[in-house]
Amino acid sequence: MSDTQGILIAIGGHEDKDGDRTILKAVAEQVADGCLVIATVASQDPEQYFEAYRAAFGALGVSDVAELYVDNRAQADDPELRALIAGAGGIFFTGGDQLRIASQIGDTPLEEEIRTLHKRGGVIAGTSAGASVQSDVMLVDGSGDESYRIGDMHMAPGLGLIPDVIIDQHFAERGRIGRLLGAIAHNPRLLGVGIDEDTAIVIESNRFKVIGSGAVTVVDAGHVTRSNIAEAKPDRVLSIHDVVMHVLSAGDDFDLGSRRPGTIRSE
């Protein structure tokens, strides 16, 4: 990666908006020149999201904000919207449905502008759906609080800003370990990263550090010795042997290349 490439921040949802704002502060600090674009594309009711983030970022000194919303895919060609991203210092994707983001702006000129923003050093951040969409493959659906059954297959391509990673959010709160294990069982090339609420990973040059009040669970199927994902019937529960799991919290970091955790400082 080049030195100018911007930072990516993936947030597990429900980040603190009126207390310490640890996570939003980390986003705000990365916005240098230009406005911060609040992309509410994931939502069908964008107004409330935009107002909440305008207030939260305003309190952190980022007053130059603009909303990005597209109602249908044709709008992703709009020169005005492209110019908005071209002049931005960063973009923040709100929550909603990650499939709305990917299906509305995936493979459009607008997505290309977002990649260009990232390459020239702009921050790309997102919470909940806005975190999932940054990864290569995203979990779209799938129940929480149950073991994964072979037939529960709900993945879709994301924007792919973070290669070879599948991000899940609201992770501990919605009991999503089962569905993340199901996802990585399909192809251990994908590293599973489950982010709790009010918790984020800050990715810079193929490493991430953890910030916020919860945990980030990393599941690595690279050394799995057996799974029944390919052979079993759809209603069968997943078997998977020898997954390596790391639970990381603030002060921990992780190298996405070597897939090894580390600790910057203990708290």
Catalytic residues: 128, 146, 170
- Least distance between a second copy and beta carbon 175 (Å): 3
Residues lying near a second copy in the complex (CB under 8 A) are found at 144-148, 172-175, 177-178, 181, 196, 213-215, 217, 219, 225-226, 228, 231-233, 236-252, 261, 263, 266-267
For residues 5 and 147, which CB has a smaller minimum distance to a second copy in the complex? 147
Q: Which amino acid is at 231?
A: E
CA 103, 134, 69, 15 dihedral sign is positive
Would you say 118 or 149 has its CB closer to a second copy?
Answer: 149
- Alpha-carbon distance of 25 to 9, in angstroms, equals 11
Q: Least distance from C-beta 195 to a second copy, angstroms?
A: 10
Q: 97 vs 220, which CB is nearer to a second copy?
A: 220
DSSP structural state of residue 36: E
C-alpha span between 102 and 137 (Å, rounded): 11
- Identify the CA nearest to 161 among candidates 204, 217, 104, 128: 204
Closest CA to 104 of 152, 171, 43, 56: 43
| Residue 158 vs 192, nearer CB to a second copy | 192
Residues in the chain: 267
Q: C-beta of 71: minimal distance to a second copy in Å?
A: 35
Of 146, 218, 232, 143, the C-alpha closest to 186 is 232
CB 30 to a second copy: min, Å: 24
